[in-house]
């Protein structure tokens, strides 16, 4: 079994460069809802971070039901990651400054000093990923090898990871 640090390093490498993730929360009537959020990657403690508006529906949903899923899709690399975890709403100006980039002005035109900004921190419980050859040549090779071997996993990697001890 992989060590937690190794698993987090692997996850970090898999999601690196995938700017947008889909965050799934459970809404009041029990249905699940996904929406895109700009991802700020995995920190040294193994948590995912997002910037959002404290008055958004997802903030209230997380307060009521903190279990979430975060999905990443790197189509160009043929990499897909699904992360289950517990989200928390955080008000930390220093962390907000650390994560802020000018591109965030598109979503939050009042800027870094917008009093409605907050952070979502997702502590990772488990993850699963699928990673295959990317690009046109990689995909062509994958299709050819799969057809020859009749094994769709011949050139791809799939692993489930348990991160948080529970």
List per-residue pLDDT tens for the chain, 166 residues long: 456 788 899 999 999 999 999 999 999 899 999 999 999 989 988 899 999 999 999 999 999 999 999 999 998 888 999 999 999 999 999 999 999 999 999 999 999 999 999 999 999 999 999 987 654 445 554 455 456 556 555 546 787 778 865 4
Which three-class secondary structure state does DSSP give residue 103?
helix
User: Which residues have CB under 8 Å from 123's CB, separation 6+?
Assistant: 46, 47, 85, 86, 87, 88, 164
Report the largest interatomic distance among the alpha carbons of the chain, rounded to a whole angstrom. 58
Number of Cβ within a 10 Å radius of residue 24: 18
Query: Which backbone phi and psi does 63 adopt, to 5 degrees?
Result: -60, -35
CATH level 3 topology of 4-162: Pnp Oxidase; Chain A (2.30.110)
What is d(CA 127, CA 60) in angstroms, rounded to the nearest whole number? Answer: 24
- Polymer length of the chain: 166
């Amino acid at each position: 079994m992989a060590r937690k640090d190794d698993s987090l390093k692997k996850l970090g490498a898999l999601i690196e460069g995938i700017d947008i993730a889909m965050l799934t929360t459970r809404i009041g009537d029990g249905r699940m809802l996904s929406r895109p959020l700009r991802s700020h990657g995995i920190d040294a403690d193994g948590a995912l971070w997002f910037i959002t508006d404290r008055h958004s529906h997802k903030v209230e949903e997380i307060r009521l039901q903190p279990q979430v899923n975060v999905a990443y899709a790197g189509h160009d690399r043929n990499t897909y990651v699904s992360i289950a975890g517990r989200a928390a709403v955080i008000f930390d100006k220093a962390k907000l400054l650390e994560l802020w980039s000018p591109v965030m002005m598109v979503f939050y035109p009042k800027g870094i000093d917008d009093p409605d900004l907050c952070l979502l921190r997702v502590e990772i419980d488990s993850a699963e990923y699928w990673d295959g050859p990317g690009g046109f040549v990689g995909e062509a090779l994958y299709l050819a090898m799969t057809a020859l071997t009749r094994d769709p996993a011949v050139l791809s990697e799939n692993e489930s990871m348990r991160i948080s001890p529970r």
